[in-house]
């Protein structure tokens, strides 16, 4: 006799191992800060600075030319005036706006080892502390099928605590997803070039036009979160019920039927590959995070690739 296994998404709080009263949020943030500070110091400090370029360069000084200097930096007017070669030196404007766009639609409540939303929260906290340690400004947009929360970019430890409090405690009003709305809002409120991390899952449609507009204006990185059960089903004697948390559509899958399981997994992997291929054609950087894998390794690997 087959067992019935139902995978309807639970609407319990993503941080179910904490009691999310207001008094406990500070304790959570302290734990996050301790953990992420150690990771930032051990792994990310140099890679972060080399990965994230500032928004421009500004003139610093004119100095005498020395062997090995780039001839393209030569200041010909000053050199002609003093009869000896001088070069211009510039310094990078390091300060950045780092924006996090977080998809809080219902599909991200799903997860086996942990929910996709919890994974988003952990990675966002880590990258936010990395940004603050580098003296960058950090801002936040939480979206579903509309923009539900906006926190303007600012510096400082207290501001990071505010953002982490928001992403842990926020309860979305809608269950659906519309990435277009979040990107259009981003382009409207962020006039200067920003580093943008957009977190979503493979259930979302990636709007080509809006993504390409954002790419021209900002340094955009798409961060996809996934769970193994979404594409790799176990071959066991059971019936599995999948229910779409956004549309409530459902389907039963006989896990004892090897061909059905194999066909389902193949279809999901092909859809994922097609989406990633489209992203590559758009010329946008991306990272894929799995709820069951080491996201630290994925971030470091991405940092190295960017360098």
For 184-201, write each residue's pLDDT tens digit. Answer: 999 999 988 899 999 999
Q: How far apart are CA 152 and CA 159, in angstroms?
A: 10
CATH number at residue 172: 3.40.50.410
Q: Decide which of 38 and 180 is more confident.
A: 180
The mean pLDDT of the chain is: 81
pLDDT of 56 strictly over 80? no
100 plus 178 within the same structural domain: yes
d(CA 215, CA 151): 21
Confidence of residue 229 (pLDDT cuts 50, 70, 90): confident
**Per-residue pLDDT averaged across 104-120, rounded?**
91
Q: Is the domain of 68 the same as that of 184?
A: no
Burial of 239 (0-12, 13-18, 19+ CB in 10 A): middle
* Range in 63-67, 71-75, 229-233, 242-246 the model is least confident about: 242-246
Q: Which of 218, 211, 210 shows the shortest CA–CA distance to 190?
A: 218
Is the same domain home to 126 and 187?
yes
Indicate whether 62 and 175 sit together in one domain: no
Considering 70, 93, 116, which residue would you say is the last residue of a domain? Answer: 93
- For residue 139, what pLDDT is reported? 97
Of 93, 119, 144, the last residue of a domain is: 93
Strand ranges inside 206-249, DSSP E = 219-226, 238-243
Are 107 and 256 contained in the same domain? yes
Q: Is the pLDDT of residue 16 over 60?
A: no
How far apart (Å, rounded) are the C-alpha atoms in residues 81 and 261? 78
Q: Are residues 165 and 244 in the same domain?
A: yes
User: How many domains, in total, are found in the chain?
Assistant: 2
Residues 210 and 288 in one domain: yes
Q: Tell me, yes or no, whether 192 and 83 share the same domain.
A: no
Select from 66, 93, 120 the last residue of a domain. 93
Q: What is the DSSP letter of 307?
A: -
pLDDT value at residue 116: 94
- Predicted confidence at residue 63, as pLDDT, reads 83
Cα–Cα separations (whole angstroms), residue 47 to 50, 202, 238, 305, 306: 5, 28, 47, 10, 9
Q: Are residues 114 and 197 in the same domain?
A: yes
Q: Which pLDDT score is estimated for 17?
A: 41
Confidence category of residue 161, pLDDT binned at 50, 70, 90 = confident
Same domain for 166 and 197?
yes
* Same domain? 88 vs 174: no
- What domain range is 170 assigned to? 3-52+95-306
Average pLDDT, integer, range 219-225 = 95
**Whether residue 23 has pLDDT greater than 60:** no
- Give the pLDDT confidence score for residue 59 in this predicted structure: 58
Query: Both 26 and 87 in a single domain?
Result: no
Q: What is the dihedral of CA 46, 280, 196, 182, to 10 degrees?
A: -160
Choose between 108 and 5: higher pLDDT: 108
pLDDT(32) > 60 = yes
The predicted model scores a pTM of 0.75
């Amino acid at each position: 006799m087959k067992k019935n296994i139902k995978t309807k998404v639970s609407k319990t709080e993503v941080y179910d191992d904490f009691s999310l009263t207001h008094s406990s949020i500070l304790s959570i943030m302290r734990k996050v800060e301790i953990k992420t500070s150690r990771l930032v110091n051990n792994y990310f400090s140099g890679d972060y600075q080399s990965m994230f370029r500032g928004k421009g360069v500004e003139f610093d000084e004119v100095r005498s030319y020395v062997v090995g200097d780039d001839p393209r930096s030569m200041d010909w007017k000053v050199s002609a005036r003093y009869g000896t070669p001088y070069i211009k030196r510039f310094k990078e404007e390091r300060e950045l706006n780092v924006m996090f766009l977080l998809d809080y639609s219902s599909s991200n409540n799903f997860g086996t080892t942990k929910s996709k939303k919890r994974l988003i929260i952990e990675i966002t906290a880590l990258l936010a502390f990395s940004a603050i340690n580098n003296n960058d400004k950090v801002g936040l947009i939480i979206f579903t099928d509309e923009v539900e929360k906006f926190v303007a970019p600012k510096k400082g430890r207290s501001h990071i605590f505010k953002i982490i409090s928001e992403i842990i405690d926020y309860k979305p009003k809608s269950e659906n997803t519309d990435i277009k709305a979040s990107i259009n809002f981003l382009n409207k409120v962020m006039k200067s070039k920003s580093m943008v991390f957009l977190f979503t899952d493979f259930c979302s449609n990636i709007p080509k036009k809006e993504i390409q507009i954002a790419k021209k204006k900002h340094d955009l990185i798409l961060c996809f979160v996934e769970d193994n059960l979404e594409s790799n089903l176990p071959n066991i004697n059971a019936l599995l019920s999948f229910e779409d948390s956004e549309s409530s559509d459902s389907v039963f899958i006989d896990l004892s039927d090897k061909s059905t399981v194999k066909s389902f997994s193949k279809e999901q992997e092909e859809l994922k590959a097609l989406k990633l291929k489209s992203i590559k054609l758009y010329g946008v950087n991306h990272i894929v995070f799995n709820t069951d894998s080491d996201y630290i390794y994925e971030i470091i690997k991405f940092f190295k690739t960017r360098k």
